[in-house]
Amino acid sequence: MKNTHEIDFQIFGEEMQFVEIELDPQESVVAEPGSFMMMDEDIEMNTIFGDGTKEDQGMFGKILGAGKRVLTGEKLFMTAFTHQGDSKAKVSFASPYPGKIIPLDLSEIGNKVICQKDSFLCAAKGTSVGIEFSKKLGRGFFGGEGFIMQKLEGDGLAFLHAGGYIVRKELLVGEQLRVDTGCLVGFTSQVDYDIQFVKGIKNAVFGGEGLFFASLVGPGSVWIQSLPISRLGDRILTHSKGYFGRAGKGEGSILGGIGDLLDGDGIF
């Protein structure tokens, strides 16, 4: 028998997706604040500490659980949506930026997945949303997510969100995959995750791909995004900056603003 509520769902859209979750009477789904889109009238919304998996743990336990969420960059509270009617009802949650929603049946992937901060969207009530501490010094300092990542545990449905196109890679025993640290969305608990320094001074200094790779060794599943929100933000910031309020065009060049002068598009 499952510990989490058995919900049904449907994902709509292409680039700006939302997930519609169908609840039976007394079924619940928990979600990050700010992800709610719409719901039927028989669904009741309730703000809770943590993820609500241990309702009998007392106030101290709830505060401790909420504090762990703060360490991953999430808010103190989560929102629970419970169907209080007699028939089926629906509630929908929207993605925060262009990308894809990833449905995960935790019972099919070892009941646990480790993911980057801010990727969790919503999950069936009973799913534990916690933190995963890195035991490797290099991974902690240079992994892009620090010593702490998010972990989802349970035997029901959970939903992640990531930017651009999402690809799932299945790694065999001992098979290695190197990924840009920002493009890594999540992986199953059996995957060995570490950080590797980019070889070669020229590659590290002039390659434009950062100093480190995420190294993932199977067996297990890995989810990768083509457009991390940090990369999208950097591009927008670069295009919005310029000399005397004019947007620059040489963001991909070592010459930068000097290149604008040389191509005849000067600042005066």
Instruction: Show the CA angle centred on residue 181, arms to residues 176 and 183, nearest 5°.
Output: 95
Summarised one tens digit per residue, pLDDT across range 78-135 is 899 999 999 899 999 998 888 999 999 999 999 999 998 788 999 999 898 888 766 5
Cβ neighbours, 10 Å, residue 73: 13
Residue 5, C-beta contacts closer than 8 angstroms, at least 6 positions apart: 23, 27, 28, 29, 124, 125, 126, 156
SS (H, E, C) the chain: CCCCCCCEEEEECCCCCEEEEEECCCCEEEECCCCEEEECCCEEEEEEECCCCCCCCHHHHHHHHHHHHHHCCCCCEEEEEEECCCCCEEEEEECCCCEEEEEEEHHHCCCEEEECCCCEEEEECCCEEEEEECCCHHHHHHCCCCCEEEEEECCCEEEEEEECCEEEEEECCCCEEEEEHHHEEEEECCCEEEEEECCCHHHHHHCCCCCEEEEEECCEEEEEECCCHHHHHHHHHHHHCCHHHCCCCCCCCCCCHHHHHHCCCCCC
Q: Once rounded to an integer, what is the mean pLDDT over residues 161-169?
A: 93
Mean pLDDT of the chain: 77
Summarised one tens digit per residue, pLDDT across range 131-149 is 876 655 444 444 444 446 8
Summarised one tens digit per residue, pLDDT across range 45-54 is 998 876 666 5
Q: What percent of the chain has pLDDT over 90?
A: 43
Q: How confident is the model at residue 268 (pLDDT cuts 50, 70, 90)?
A: very low
| Residues 177 and 222 sit within 8 Å (Cβ to Cβ) | yes
Q: What structural domains and CATH numbers belong to the chain?
A: 8-231 (3.60.160.10)
Summarised one tens digit per residue, pLDDT across range 177-203 is 999 888 999 999 999 988 877 665 444
Summarised one tens digit per residue, pLDDT across range 221-233 is 999 999 887 766 6
**Does residue 75 surpass a pLDDT of 70?**
no
Q: Which two tokens stand for residue 85?
A: 């009617």
**Does residue 163 surpass a pLDDT of 80?**
yes
Cβ neighbours, 10 Å, residue 26: 11
Residue 118 falls in which region: left (phi positive, over 0), alpha (psi -120 to 50) or beta: left
- The whole-angstrom separation of Cα 25 and Cα 103 is 22
Q: Which residue has the tokens 């960059």?
A: 73
pTM of the model: 0.76
Q: How confident is the model at residue 38 (pLDDT cuts 50, 70, 90)?
A: very high
Q: What percent of the chain has pLDDT over 70?
A: 65
